[in-house]
Structures are given as C-alpha cells and as structure tokens.
Structure 1
C-alpha cells in the first residue's frame, strides 16, 4: 500500500530510523509532541519499510491515547478503524485479518507477552511515551528485552519519547542508536497567575480561562488534576455561551473523547487531565492554562488499592504542557502559580515503580517465573520493601504459594487485568454469588462510593441516572463478561465479595454497645453515626481512613457479615494455635482460634508445650525483672560484686545486667527454669545458688581477693563492702580506722575503696578515697566537730600515733 505520510518533522529522520532498526534491531526515538512519532512512524514501519515482515504493535500508556492514535492513523489512510489500523484495550477491540498496525495499552501487551512470549506475527513493537514511566510500561520494556534476548532476536524494539534520558534508555536496549527529531516550534508567551488567598484550584483555573478568552486568540487547553476538578470548572464556566466547554479524560465515552479531539465550528475550551500532555493532539489549541497539579499513583490506604494523589507537576511536565500552545502558531501559556515558585518545581516526576503499590507487578513477575525480578533489565528495579509487601498480599490471596510460585488461581487472576484484590474477588465471588453480583461489588470497590453501607449503595447505583452510576453499570457489564462462563448463580452477598478482596479487613465489634471494630489486620476502626450498620457484630470493611488526632480509624465503606462468612472468606487468616504467654503477672496457657487478630474461641490448656511455657517465663522475667527470683542478701551481694568486676576488669567476668543475664539464661537458670510452670515456681529459685554457675574458672578462685565481700579494719572488725554504686563503699566508724595508714585497694589494686567515715552514732562525718590526705588535711576539722558532740569518746590529735590503740568493735 502506497501511503502519503503527513509532512511532520519526524519524516526527516525516518531513514536514520530504518538504518538503526535494520542494523541493530532496536533504537530510541526522541521526538517532541506533535512531530508524528505516534502516527507517522508506525505507518512508515508497517507499510513502507518492510511490509512483509509482520504486524507493528504500538504500546500506549493510556486507553484514550491508544484509541486516538489508531483513529488518527486510520484517518490518514482514509479507512475505518479496524482495517489496516486497529486497537485493543481492556474490554474493547477493533482489529481484523487485514490489520497491520495495532495500538494497544502497555498493560494489555504485558498480558499478551505472558500468554505467548514469542509474539507470533509481530515484527516490531513501538513503546510510546516512555518518559511517562508508567509501571506497566517499565515492566513491558523489561519483559520484551528478556524475550528478545532469549526467544526473538529478530523482534525489533523502538522506544519513543518526548523527553527522556536517551543515553540511559539506549544502554538498556543494548547500546541502541538514538535518533532525534526536532519539532518546528512557535514562540510561547508564558504568563504566571498567582491564586487569590483561599482560592480553590478550580476557581483559579476558571478565572484564568475567562481572562485568556478575552486576552488571546485560539482554542484553550486547560490541564486539571482529575475528573472532579474538570466537572467543577465546567460548572463555573457554564455562563459562557459563545464557547464550547468540553471535558477530556479516560473515563469518557468514545464519542465524547472524539468530540474533544476534533476541531469544532466554534471556539473551544478543552478541560483535560494529564492524558493530553503528550500522546494526544488537540487541534486548534493556541492557549494553555495549566493548574500546575497532577494525579500520580500512590497507595490508597483507605481502599487498600492503588490510588492517586494530587501533587505539583515537575518542570519537565510544565514545559511539555506549555508546548501544546505552540504547535500550530505563536501561543500563550498561563501557569496558575507564582513565577518565583517555578524554580522550586522538581526537574522530573518520580517513576511510578518507586511510588506505587506493587502487588500487581509482583503477580506478573511470578507469572514470568522471576518473583523478585532478578535477571530482568530494569530502567529502575522494583524497591525491595514494596515488592515484598506485594508478594505477601499475593500469598494471602492464594495467587502464589509459600515458595512465591504462581498458582493456577494466580494465573487466572493475572489474566483479568485487574488489581489482584479485585481479581480474586471477581473470580471467587462469581463462583459463590454469581457473576453479575460479584461484578457489581468489584466495580463499586474499584470506583468508590458515597454511602457507608455497600448494600444501600448498590441499590442506589442500580436505579440512579447520574454519570457515575452509568459508568458503574458499564463497568459491571464488562467485568461480568470476564467470568460469566466460569461462574454459577448463587445467593448475592456483598460482604463475601468484599472479604475476598480484603480478608484482613474483616472486623468484629469490640463489645455489644461499642461502635469500634477490631479488624483482622490488627487495627481498630470506628463506624460513623448514621451508617445504618451499627447493629451488625461483624463487618466486611472495604474502605477505612486513618484521620490525624483520632484514636481509631473510621470505616467509610462496609457490608454486614457474620462469623461463618468471615471464616469462609479468610481461610488463609484462620489459625488454631496453642498460646502460652506471660499475662497479668503469670503464665497463661490457652487454645485459641483466630481470624488474624480477632479471637473466635479460647479455652484453657491443661498440658501446654513445655518449650512455650519456658518462653513465657523468660518473657515474664524480661517484663517484670529478675526480681521474680528469690534474692537473698548473699545473692544480691554476689551479683553486685560480679557486676563490679565486669565493669573494672572486663572479661572473663560476665555482665550482670538483666538483659545480659536473660540472654545467658541457658547457662545459669537451667534446669530450674525448665522445671517451672508458673510465677510461684520462679520465686522458689535461689538466685545466689544459680548465679554461681556464671563464675569464670579458674578466675573464680580469686573472687574474694579481687572483690572481697568484707574488709578487716584496724579494730579487727570485718565490715561488708557495698558494691551497689559505681564505686565500692566501706561504711565504717571513724574511730575504727585510727592507725590505718592507707586506703584499701581492690581489683588487683586498680580501685580504691571509698570510705564513708561515720560518727559514733553511725552518721556520716566524712567521705574519702585517700586516707593519707584525710589524716593530713581533713581530720582536725572533723575531730573538732565530733569532740564537742561526743566528749566521752577518744579523739586523739594524731590518729596514726603508736599509742593510739583502737578498741575492737564488738
């Protein structure tokens, strides 16, 4: 077929592209938006270069972009979509035997590669908009590189992007050549408009659009974060009868999307999400209004599913959006943020693989027989933590076994193209409640709800005429078609389908008069007033929030359940275990049946596992301290002396703190510990006797020499040394030290004993670790004080004189 390609900038590099693909088998094409990389290049490859070599598959990150690209190429050929050029997206396909170019979403092509890695009949895969770094696109690139390395060395890969780290991508493709096409650009006037104080983004954008309509010529393309903001801005602009205000986002019908992508008879304002940043061309646009916001993938903890968070755009995205105003002539871009804030924008956005919930990626990797992704060539490898969390969820849902290998159920889940939670709920729910009902609940979980009671929300959606309800019914139809042949009719039960998706969110009320529920996952959440669910002991929770400042989470979407349903839906979380623990100050042994953190039944255990009892006793010693043992004065003294020697001499003298002693329990508390069964048994263990097992030999023979229990003073008295503080202390009456020339030293002479010199009444009179200095400098003052208070006692002027005869202490 002879095709007259449109005169777009990419035509100038088609020869270089042919050379790169023919010689290397892969290439990187860097081409700004509007240069023809999405339409001209596939037409050239399929119909001009090597028409006999097979089909060209173009992978787009979004469904809207896939449909639009196919429609544009078919229009250039003067044919309907589905003949030479077709497309395939989830739930919709327009291709025929004559199709040479097929535009698909990245996620759909991942599934095709999984089913048949050799991609029969495909000669070239064009990966479009690589710079957007969608998770499916990154995975697809890694899988195709693996296919090309092991199965299809003849498969040609072309990575196309508007702005990308070309050298890094070229290296990933095996030192592939980089071909660059330069766009014809027109000057763009950049205007910054700061929001007023307290002004919402929708109000600010609507105000800026009104100003742009009066200040500049041409159609307006306005970028907003999401569908809700588009709807509200459209409402604020409803009074402008001289212009057509059109939405553009992925949830619109095909007809409405096409209307936004065609030049109209009147001036138009197109309100778009990020879908219009690069892969779509909106004709007639000479003005861009950029909210500066975008929705990016994040984990939606409320729904337990991948969600979207509103963030500031990167500088690269802002430039790409502004560039839309200069495709057909000089344009104007209004940025809805102050000029001085522009420099603070991040240079590029984060790749989705770094921020997204990764259970779906983990399932695809398990299907590829590489659960951790090792062996694949990644642009950015999956982060270990999120990937491990995704793998654990797959195990819980039965998609993988304990070794991480995909199960038959897991393969069926992956084939649906849904998040693993929703896929499991649809498959197993259809088998139990019927395909239609399971699809209704899954479509609701995917889209969200306005009421807390799921059954009430389902009744509302079945009869409502609003756009959200219509979209829900269309989604139900598609989902039911995926499983209708494998399911049977059953009793409708929304709670069962919810629990299949979120088994860890099955919840039981804490007490009959409480609105707080304990979830199987271990957290608590409160049912809001007026939910209509307050009479139910059990709930299957679909959505819950964690609001700052609240003691519990808040249940936002749930269905009535019961214990029988909970056990049925969450069999993976059901456990029958013997639990022996330290609770309430003693050992408690019981047989417990649980769903996750929720206790179903419990009964006392008569003969618990001795090993579990021992562990509970150790935990009791850890929680309440070694004081649970019987500590005599001698035992306490021995522990203090050993602690002193460890502190001053180190090894082999052992540490005596609680943590160290508990870590060495096998060395000193056995066999007594293993014979004990309760707290009272611990109190019968003589700590002094068992502690001696830690004495190091042969060094233990010097214990009395290195850390004497008592020291003999000049009167002949043997006085106990106190080792309980940092330094050893000898509390002795001053009169018993007369004639003592030097301070006693212990621990091989390394440590001087601190003397607490007492009055005849036993009260402190002086403290010293240097007797010689005390006799020379402090004694006379102490003597003068004590002579007046204790005149009947002898207070010699020279306490070291030979005639001083200290009396023996009785």
Structure 2
C-alpha cells in the first residue's frame, strides 16, 4: 500500500515484477513484523489482480483470518465485507464487491471441491505456510495442478516467516521466483526459568503446575515498569482458565486487565483481547497468537513451551489433541512477539538444555493425523490413487492404505478407489469420514438430528 512504512514495501518493485507474465509463482520469506499478511494482498490488488477476480489469502487459523481482514479493511478505509472480507467456518463476510478475501485453509479445500476450477479467483496467497496443515498442503498441490492445467492465469504466492525454503522451492518448480524481505524486530532478551520442584506440605515434592509456574513469571515480569503488555502462551483452554483464575485479583498485578485468547471465543471477546486499551494487559493465549497477529503494546512474552496438537489416536480410531513440546521455530515465533514495537523480554519456562534438544520445526500435519478425510477429498477431486497426488511430503504408504481401507469399509469408495454416491454425500459435511458416514446414515434412517448431536459430542471430546 502506498504511503505505508511496512518493511514489506521495500520489495514492492521486485514483487510486482514477479507477478507479471504467465502463471506467476512466488515464494516469499518475510520475518515477523514485516507486514506481509497485511501488505502483500493490497499490493496485489493495487496491481489490478483484484479486478480480475478474488485475491484469496489462506490462513491456518480462523481468528487470524477474521482479524487480518478487519485490520486491512480499516487500513484501506473500506467497510468489512465489501472490498475486503473474510470467510471461515460458520462466518461469511464477503460480497460480490469483495476483491481480497481472507479464508482458512479448510474453506479453500471446500471451494476446491465445490468449484474445481476456482472460477472467479485470480490469485491464491498461502500465508504462514510453515504451519504445514494438511488442508494447506492439499490445497497448494491442487492449486499448482490447476495453474499448470486449466488455470494458467492463476497467480500463486506462498509466504512465511520461518520456512525451510529449499524443499518447497523444488516442489514449486523452476518457474518459481524466490523473494526475501527484511523485518522490523527489536532485540528480545531471553530468560530461562525451568520449573523448580515444590513441597506439598506433607513431605512430598512435585513440579509446580504450568499455571503456577506462569504466575510466578508474571509476578517477576511486572516488577519491571517497562514490561508493557504481557502475552502468556498456554497449551489449551483448560490451562488458560486456570491461569486467569489464579491471576485475577492479585494485588501485585497493579490493576492490569486479564484477557483469555483462543479460537472458540466470540469475535467480541477476541477483539477485546487484541485491541489496545487504556490499561496494561495480561493476555493468556493458545498458539493462535503465535503467528499473523500483531498485538500492540506487548513487550513481554511468557512461554510455557507446550501446545496441544492434533494427532492420530489408535484407541479411538480418530484424531485427538495431544500435549507436546513446541519446536525451536515456534519458540522463536513466540519470542518475536515481544520485539514488535520496542526492545522486549521473553521468559521461557524451560531450561537451556531443553531448548537445545527441541526439534527445529514441527512435523507436517500429514505425518501426524488420520488421512482418510484427505483421501476422501482427493477422490472427490478425481485422484483415485492418493499416492499419485502431488504431495510436498509424501505420507507413509501404509497410512494411505489404511485410509483407503476405511473409506471402502464405509462405502465411500468402490474397489477402484472411485467416489461412490455415499462418498459424494459424505463430502458435504466438514467432518471426519466416520462421522460423515454417521450423518448420511441418519438422513437415510430419518434420525439425522439425533445422529448430528452424537457427532458433535464425539468431535468435542478432543
């Protein structure tokens, strides 16, 4: 956007040049604070792409899609849902006038099923691609196939702050243009605070709870008058609620507001947490605040080092959430939140020795989760053999075989791997195949409402 001071503006000329020509593909690495999420889509619109069709900006999280669209609409001086809008599960704020649409990767995956040619779309921008969601991987492969086939006019941009580029560059092909932008990052002092065992008063010693450990870090942080707002990362909603309860009313907080922040909150509650107010804040968040979102005023980050991550549960026969340690890349992203506006500080609630043992990056979701839903979507796209799909990281053939066997047992595919009528009906529901089949059976037996309630309860268990 002309007139802004975002660091991403420094590569405007290179980026617009790379957009010209046939079937542009761009791989953009831009660090935290560069303004890529809010700067690149308007840049593409200014270049005229929005007049030829929708510029779709793909986000791995619903909250990021909604808040980014709201911010860009405000920067552009337009009403949200007109020129700039968003679409996530259960929310649609786009219109016939929309030129830039922020959507989740799940929404794009659904569009690719309902509108196989992405009619009315001029460009697809995959933001924060380092999170490597399964929907994002599938959608990128499908979009590249489209660009090489019936949609050579489609522009494709993949961007991230922490991205291992070599494998992705090779995957996107020789025509891919690689760009890198500078960021705006102030120094962040890293302080390690591993858990110290405490006595329970009866002669037994145990490690403190994660919320007790975090509260002690908050208490230390607020002793510094320049600590600014505090962003505290917790693994899940339960831990967030326990932390908020523990902090509320503490006299040493100095009258700070305390806000929870996670995806299931209402938009109004999320807005209150991320928007700068008149009083200093403590924001207790899941990893939804790890990327994309800039929360003004944050100069201190407290990181527990844990996340709840989706993964296959062989006992339940479906995916569930597992408590796992974050990678070095995630830790760097979280710490970077403290250095957006000034010098900051990050308290890591683990030791330097534990930091050295962390994995460099989180494993792609395609290595962790059940692939039956992905294989069902591939079948709906006409890919009968999932091993022939354009995988960025090819899953274990045995996992793909297990997925195909499950779909065949549910009657979703025939012996040749082709989608059946039952399978086509299952794709209408954004559910794991077992639950989708449950709803189809409910429709046939005239008890869809009851079985939909059961499916909702089963999904909520994770």
Q: TM-score, normalised by structure 2?
A: 0.93
TM-aligned CA deviation for residue 151 of structure 1: 1.2
The whole-number CA distance in structure 2 between the counterparts of 1:128 and 1:414 is 25
Q: For the Cα contact (< 8 Å) 1:18–1:49, is it kept in 2?
A: no
Q: Distance in 1 between matches of 2:234 and 2:443?
A: 37
Paired residue secondary structure (2:439) = helix
Whether the 8 Å CA contact 1:27–1:170 is kept in 2: the answer is no
- Partners of 1:53 and 1:218 in 2: CA distance: 44
Q: State yes or no: 1:406 paired with 2:419.
A: yes
Aligned ranges 1:112-261 → 2 under 5 Å: 112-175=111-174, 176-197=176-197, 198-215=207-224, 216-240=226-250, 242-261=255-274
Instruction: Verify: 1:322 aligned to 2:335, yes or no.
Output: yes
Please tell me whether the aligned partners of residues 186 and 343 of structure 2 are also in contact (alpha carbons under 8 angstroms): yes
**Distance in 1 between residues matched to 2:80 and 2:47, nearest whole Å:** 19
Aligned 1:487-506 pairs, distance under 5 A: none
**Residue number in structure 1 paired with 2:295:** 282
Structure 2: stretches of 5+ with no match in the other structure:
198-206
Structure 2: how far apart are the matches of 1:169 and 1:366? 25
Of stretches 398-407 and 325-334 in structure 1, the one that deviates more from structure 2 is 398-407
Secondary structure, in 3 states, of the residue corresponding to 2:231?
A: strand
- Cα distance, 1:192–1:34 mapped onto 2, change above 3 Å: same
Looking at structure 2, the residues matched to 430 and 206 of structure 1 have their Cα atoms a distance apart, in angstroms, of 50
- Pair 1:263-2:294 in alignment: no
| CA gap 1:26/1:303 in 2 versus in 1, 3 angstroms | same
Summarize the alignment of residues 101-116 of structure 1 with structure 2, pairs less than 5 Å apart. 101-116=100-115
Deviation of 1:294 after TM superposition, in Å, equals 1.3
Corresponding residue SS for 1:102: strand
Task: Report the equivalent of 1:76.
Answer: 75
Q: For the residues of structure 2 that align with 1:324 and 1:5, how far apart are their CA atoms?
A: 25
Cα deviation, residue 79, structure 1: 2.5
1:416 aligns with 2:425: no
Give the conservation status (yes or no) of the 8 Å contact 1:291–1:336.
yes
Q: Distance in 2 between matches of 1:349 and 1:99?
A: 35
Within-5 A mapping of 1:475-490: none
| Residue of structure 2 equivalent to 1:61 | 60
**Is 2:49–2:55's contact at 8 Å kept on the other side of the alignment?**
no
Larger radius of gyration: 1
Q: 1:315 to 1:213 in 2, by over 3 A?
A: same
Q: Hey, what's the Cα distance between the residues in 2 that align with 1:48 and 1:214? A: 49
Structure 2 counterpart of 1:98: 97
Q: Aligned runs of 1:508-519 on 2, under 5 Å?
A: none
Conserved in 2, the CA contact under 8 Å of 1:130 and 1:161? yes
Equivalent residue, structure 1, for 2:311: 298
Are the aligned partners of 1:373 and 1:382 in contact in 2 as well (CA < 8 Å)? no
Q: Could you tell me the TM-score, scaled by structure 1's length? A: 0.54
1:6 is matched with 4
SS at match of 2:26: strand
- Closer/same/farther in 2, CA of residues 185 and 251 from structure 1, 3 Å limit: same
1:132, CA displacement in angstroms? Answer: 0.7
When residues 117 and 50 of structure 1 are mapped into structure 2, their CA distance, relative to the original with a 3 A threshold, is: same
For residues 323-338 of structure 1, the aligned pairs below 5 Å read 323-338=336-351
> What is the distance in 2 between the residues matched to 1:64 and 1:213?
28
1:288 positional shift: 0.4
Instruction: Please list, as runs of the form range in 1=range in 2, the aligned pairs for 1:342-361 lying within 5 A after superposition.
Output: 342-361=355-374
SS across alignment from 1:164: coil
Superposed CA offset, 1:363-398 (max 9, x none): 111112223334433210122111111111111222
Kept in 2: contact 1:146–1:376 (CA 8 A) = no
**Residues in 2 aligned to 1:246 and 1:111: alpha-carbon distance in whole angstroms:** 33
Separation in 1, partners of 2:188, 2:7: 19
- Equivalents in 2 of 1:413, 1:91: separation in Å? 18
Structure 1's 83 and 162: CA in aligned 2 closer, same or farther, altered over 3 A?
A: same
Q: In structure 2, what is the equivalent of residue 44 of structure 1?
A: 43
What SS is found at the alignment partner of 2:386?
A: coil
Deviation, structure 1 residue 235:
1.1
How far off its partner does 1:304 sit?
2.6
Write the distance in 2 (CA, Å) between the matches of 1:430 and 1:219: 51
Helix, strand or coil for the counterpart of 1:205?
helix
CA distance in 2, matches of 1:150, 1:376: 15
- What displacement does 1:214 show? 1.9
- The 8 Å contact of residues 125 and 157 in structure 1, kept in 2 or not, is answered as yes
1:497-576 mapped onto 2 (5 Å cutoff): none
**Given the superposition, is the C-alpha separation of residues 59 and 34 from structure 1 closer, same or farther in structure 2, using an over 3 Å criterion?**
same
Structure 2 Cα separation of the partners of residues 9 and 157 of structure 1 = 22
User: C-alpha distance in 1, partners of 2:196/2:164?
Assistant: 37
Root-mean-square deviation (CA, aligned residues, Å) is 1.7
Structure 1 residues 329, 353: CA separation in 2 closer, same or farther (over 3 Å shift)?
Answer: same
SS at match of 1:52: helix
SS of match in other structure, 1:308: strand
1:19 aligns with 2:17: yes
